[in-house]
Structure 1
Amino acid sequence: MKLQLRYLLVFAFLCFFSVSFAQRKKEIPQTTRLLFVLDASGSMNSAWEGDTRINIARQILSDMIDSIANVPYVEVAMRVYGHQYNFKQKNCQDSKLEVAFGSRNNNQIRTMLDGLQPKGTTPIAYSLEQATKDFPNDGKDTRNVIVMITDGIEACDGDPCAISRGLQQKGIFLKPFIVGMGIEPKYAKGFECMGRFFNAKSSRQFKGFLQEVVKQTLGKTTVTVELLDERNQPREANVHMAFIDQATDKARYNIVHFRDKGGKTDELDIDAIPTYDLIVYTTPPVLKKNVEIIGGRHNVIKVATPQGQLNIVQNGSLDYSTGHSAIVQKQGNHEILVNQQVNEPHNYLIGNYRVEVLTRPTTVFENVRVNQGKTTTLNVKRPGVVTILNKLSGYGSIYVVKSDGSEDWVMNLPEKGIPRTNFALQPGRYRFVFRSSEANDSSYSKSVFFNLSEGGAFTLDILRL
């Protein structure tokens, strides 16, 4: 019977594994939607390298869209601005989705481009805003990407940077690509705040930039995060990390770093389009800002995270009635990094720390050095136990007597008399002060000194003070 049950459990496990594996294989890949936003304002008729800008853009763009027509899980659309109204009319709403999203719609796009006649103004901000309506809300899991092609700057008093940031924050589309056609360098900053900007100085460079955009958008992108020790060697591992999308300020990837037995770090599939802040959750955390990942290639990100271990050891710590921990701070910094549990080692970046163990009274260690790959051990003395016998209500306090004779308050007793109370205290010399609630004035206060040894015990009977 036991053997049959064992076979049944194994069979069930294999069935579950097979079903789970099959489900993973059947997952539908994410669809990438590429919206090209093309400048067809009057300036696109101007000469560039023996031809006009529009003719160069028309041919290169058509060929490129033909090349991706059969790529699975890719949909393309085309919005054009500046092509419906004459420049003198300065129509700042001259922007239209000419070809809606679809797969294998390259011939439709080519036909539209062949008949395109530039003539109007340059409403870049308005076109970006209208682009939000171009991406279908059909429930598909998609990456929405905008590629803008232009030879000029915003001409309608709009703010393309603010529009772009706002729509990225809402998750409407990812960080746009902007490919300029001979734009004056002084205007570059106005596009860099919108997205990732390429400025072509020639038709050949324009073609290369468009190919690079497609490669970054559709190519296989992998990332390795190398966590370096103090010798800049990739040795650290098993640390939590998060890639934070700067546009949304949300974690797009939250993972635990992995390194195999041979010391090789695994490769991550990361969307290359957003710009990230990488947080490595060491103690304290390490932040690497403005991490730009190049799409269609393998990227290596190096972060210095040299670590050692701190272990706070105390025998008999369970004598304390509440959770027993230590406050750890960087030396000279009041910010609390972590409440470390006693007798539970924790990793820290190498450096000096202040450790305040929440014994009674607290035990403080200054300038505790954590070294690379080593464990620093702090030994805290085992507490003793004070037993207080009390049938009177009143006000009692315990003070620790320091080596210079001064005293620090440690704790108060409950005002309502409790017949028998046990308190764990660190070894040392103490003063106990008590006044009954029925006493007429403070002169009835009584005090007594007592010593407590490590692991020892002392009994105070208030009626005998």
Structure 2
Amino acid sequence: MTAIDHLYFTLKKPLTWLLLFFSLYGAGTTPLRAQQSAQLPLSKTRLLFVLDASGSMLAPWDVGTRMDAAKNLLSFMVDSLRTNPQVELGLRVYGHQAQRQNNDCRDSKLEVGFSQKNHDAIIKTLKAVQPKGNTPLAYSLEEAAKDFPAGNQYRNILILITDGLESCGGDPCAVSLALQKKKVFLQPFVIALSQEAGMEQQFNCMGDYYDASNITRFRAALNKALRQSLGKTSLQVQLLDEQNRPRQTDLNMSFVNSATGEVMYNFIHFLDSRGRPDSIFIDPVPAYSIIVNTLPPVVQHGIVLEGGTHNTISIKAPEGVLRLQQQNHWEYAGGVRALVRLPDQAQTLHIQAMGSDQKYLAGTYDIEVHTLPKVYFRSVKIDGGQTRTLTIPAPGILNVRSDVASWSSLYLLKEGGLQELILQLEDKNSINSLALQPGDYRLVYRAKNAQGSKFTQIKELTISSGKTVNLNLFGR
């Protein structure tokens, strides 16, 4: 047995159970408790291996070289995936056509394109590849975008196996992100077979980075990439209340791709009759931010799922209720609305109708009630699982009659001799009927045909809840 054969058998044994699992599970087996869903991940996958064949892959590595390890382990994986009809494979190689001194930064080629029965062709190609040249990573990613056939029936996955950094001046991070945003492929897997300075920084921004600086880590990284790519993944989201109990529910949850910002899934949370969250099935390849759409929303970043297994995530999202009540609020033309804001923020979080109940995330809020004049509540605390009631005094009515056209202004009187302008009345002869909050007011007016400001008149009045005040400005 040659050294290469020994390496082949050493590497393949720990993968046997995993690949058998994917071959069977990927062929259509469905968990008993799975529910029908329009948002299930695509069942078919295109898996493109991008293999570094630059000169540094000839470096000694335990038994044989880095390239020997890559060839043998990939060959076994490809062979074992023959029985999975849901997976198509492809192979791109770079750095294998020109010697390093030629500095060929376009040395990248799709050696075997995607098809259903190309396993022998990939294995044969792997055996023939000889490391030679540079590491045109960014260029290879750009070219890889052309390797995936058009259409949206498949998930496109890229697994990059390399031992070196970009050597042709490209920006593989920018290329990877641009292609993910264009939905060419999901977040790539990057398996690094060495530990050059700056490697983790460059590869982390490209995709899901794995340090595979020895054979054991290499095998584990490929296991993980395969499990993430092909393993069916379920998830329960526990929405915690104010006592950290998973009892919150019926909230919309948005799953956002952390790399691209794309909303990939929307689910309305559900608890079964025993108070348990149901399981949802999503693609485990991207990292996610989960937005729980409370008021305001709760956002949990950096959600990384374990592929091929069941995941549970807990997010604290306690809600309380704000109740707005006011007798006779219908006296206001168009009704009464309240603007709800977070403290010291100008942006309106929500507009709530008078007489309604609304759930908010437990916290403190500022409330601006659009009565006349406006009523303000500062730092209103809403506790989880509780109802906070704000009662606004009932309005009174002011009827203002003017038999001649006039200029009129209504002020709210405040302490210390201050006044606040409430509104300007219509300047034509008419009857104005106004709903006003209880308080002391001052009406300042002058007939339009009066010849001088000295003819300005002032009337003061008090408005009480449920009472009506009638004013005739010119007594005619």
Give me the TM-score of the superposition, normalised by structure 2.
Answer: 0.88
Verify the 8 A CA contact 1:149 1:181 in the aligned structure 2: yes
Amino acid in the other structure paired with 2:436: L
1:444 to 437, 450, 455: 455
Query: Are 2:441 and 1:430 equivalent residues in the alignment?
Result: yes
Task: Percent identity, please.
Answer: 40
User: Are positions 1:71 and 2:84 aligned together?
Assistant: yes
Q: Is the partner of 1:44 in helix, strand or coil?
A: helix
User: Which residue of the partner structure matches residue 57 of structure 1?
Assistant: 70
**Is contact 2:105-2:168 (8 Å) kept?**
yes
Corresponding residue to 2:153 among 141, 144, 159: 141
Q: Does 1:317 align with 2:329?
A: yes
Aligned counterpart, 2:48 = 35
Matching residue's letter, 2:76 = D
The secondary structure found in structure 2 opposite 1:69 is: helix
Q: Is residue 367–residue 378 contact of structure 2 (8 Å, CA) maintained in 1? A: yes
Deviation at 1:349, TM superposition (A): 2.1
The question of 1:129 aligning with 2:142 is answered yes
Contact 2:177 2:260 in 1 (8 A): no
Does residue 294 (structure 1) correspond to residue 297 (structure 2)? The answer is no
Aligned counterparts of 1:68 and 1:381: Cα–Cα separation in 2: 73
Q: 2:178 aligns with which of 150, 166, 169?
A: 166
Change (3 A) 1:427 1:212: same
1:349-400 CA distance string (max 9 Å, x none): 2222221211101112223221120101011111122222223222211111
Distance 1:66 1:438 in 2: 99
The one-letter code matched in structure 2 to 1:436 is A
Match of 2:3 in 1: none
Partner of 1:457: 468
Counterpart in the other structure of 1:120: 133
Q: Distance in 2 between matches of 1:450 and 1:411?
A: 15
- CA distances 1:78-126 after superposition (whole Å, capped 9, x unpaired): 1000111111111010000001111231111011111111111111111
State the one-letter code of the partner of 2:474.
L
Q: CA RMSD in A?
A: 2.0
Could you say which residue in structure 2 is the equivalent of 1:285?
A: 297
Give the Å deviation of 1:275.
1.9
Q: In the alignment, what sits opposite 2:168?
A: 156
TM value normalised by structure 1: 0.90
- Cα pair distance change 1:246/1:29, threshold 3 Å: closer
The alignment partner of 1:213 has SS state of helix
Instruction: Note closer, same or farther for the CA distance 1:259–1:404 as it changes in structure 2 (3 Å cut).
Output: farther
Report matched runs for 1:206-217 at 5 Å: 206-217=218-229
Counterpart of 1:44?
Answer: 57
CA displacement, residues 327-362 of structure 1 (integer Å, 9 cap, x when unaligned): 222334444322221111111222222212111011
Q: Is the 8 A contact 2:235 2:312 kept in 1?
A: yes
Q: Which residue of 2 aligns with 1:336?
A: 348
SS class of match (1:79): strand
Provide the rounded CA distance (Å) in 2 between the counterparts of 1:30 and 1:402.
69
> What residue in structure 1 maps to residue 371 of structure 2?
359
Q: Residues 77-116 of structure 1: matches in 2 within 5 Å?
A: 77-116=90-129
Alignment deviations for residues 235-265 of structure 1 (CA, whole Å, 9 cap, x no partner): 2112222111123222111222222232211
Q: Is residue 229–residue 306 contact of structure 1 (8 Å, CA) maintained in 2? A: yes
CA distance in 2, matches of 1:416, 1:173: 68
Q: Is contact 2:41-2:283 (8 Å) kept? A: no
Q: Given the alignment, which residue of 296, 301, 308 partners 2:320?
A: 308
Is the CA contact (8 Å cut-off) linking 2:42 and 2:155 kept in structure 1?
no
Asked whether the 8 Å contact 1:35–1:147 carries over to 2, the reply is yes
Separation in 2 of the partners of 1:366 and 1:28? Answer: 46
1:245 partner amino acid: N
Q: Is the CA contact (8 Å cut-off) linking 2:242 and 2:385 kept in structure 1?
A: no
Shift of residue 52 of structure 1? 1.3
Greater alpha carbon shift after TM alignment, 369-378 vs 64-73: 64-73
How is 1:166-315 mapped onto 2 (pairs within 5 angstroms)? 166-184=178-196, 186-315=198-327
Displacement after TM superposition at 1:305 (Å): 1.5
Q: Which sits farther off after the overlay, 36-45 or 69-78?
A: 69-78
Structure 2 CA distance for aligned equivalents of residues 228 and 291 of structure 1: 17
- Secondary structure of residue in 1 paired with 2:454: helix
Partner of 1:402: 414
Structure 1 residue 404 displacement after superposition: 4.6
**Residues 104 and 211 of structure 1, relative CA distance in 2, 3 Å threshold:** farther
Cα distance change of structure 1 residues 424 and 72 upon mapping to structure 2, 3 Å threshold: farther
Q: Give the drift of 1:185.
A: 6.1
Using the TM superposition, give the Cα deviation of residue 55 of structure 1 relative to its aligned residue in structure 2, in angstroms: 1.4
Report the alpha carbon displacement of residue 186 of structure 1 after superposing the two structures with TM: 4.6
Q: Structure 1 residues 50-59 or 247-256, which shifts more? A: 247-256
**CA apart distance, 1:447:** 1.4
Q: What are the superposed Cα offsets for residues 100-153 of structure 1, whole Å, 9 maximum, x if unpaired?
A: 11123111101111111111111111100111111111x342211110001111
Please identify, of 141-150 and 455-464, the stretch whose mean Cα deviation from structure 2 is larger.
455-464
Gaps of 5+ in 1: 1-22
Tell me if structure 2 keeps the 8 A contact 1:354–1:367: yes
Does the CA-based 8 Å contact 1:242-1:251 persist in structure 2? yes
Partner of 1:374: 386
Q: Which amino acid counterpart does residue 157 of structure 1 have in structure 2?
A: G
Q: Give 1:66 deviation, angstroms.
A: 1.8
C-alpha change, 1:387 and 1:65, in structure 2 (3 Å) is same
Q: Secondary structure of the residue that 2:158 maps to in structure 1?
A: strand
C-alpha spacing 1:24/1:402, structure 2 compared with 1 (3 Å): closer
Moved more, 437-446 or 308-317: 437-446
Check conservation: 1:44, 1:53, Cα contact below 8 A: yes
Q: Which amino acid aligns with 1:434?
A: Y
Provide the C-alpha distance between the structure 2 equivalents of 1:229 and 1:63, rounded to a whole number of angstroms: 49
* Higher mean C-alpha displacement, 397-406 vs 161-170: 397-406
Gap change, CA 1:47 and 1:431, over 3 Å in 2: same
2 CA distance for matches of 1:341 and 1:71? Answer: 57
The 2-side partners of 1:182 and 1:175 are apart by: 21
What amino acid sits opposite 1:368 in the alignment?
Answer: V
* Aligned-partner Cα distance in 2 for 1:460–1:108: 96
CA contact (8 A) 1:198 1:209 kept: yes
For residues 51-85 of structure 1, the C-alpha deviation after alignment (integer angstroms, 9 at most, x for no partner) is: 11111111110111122222232211110001111
Contact 1:433 1:447 in 2 (8 A): yes
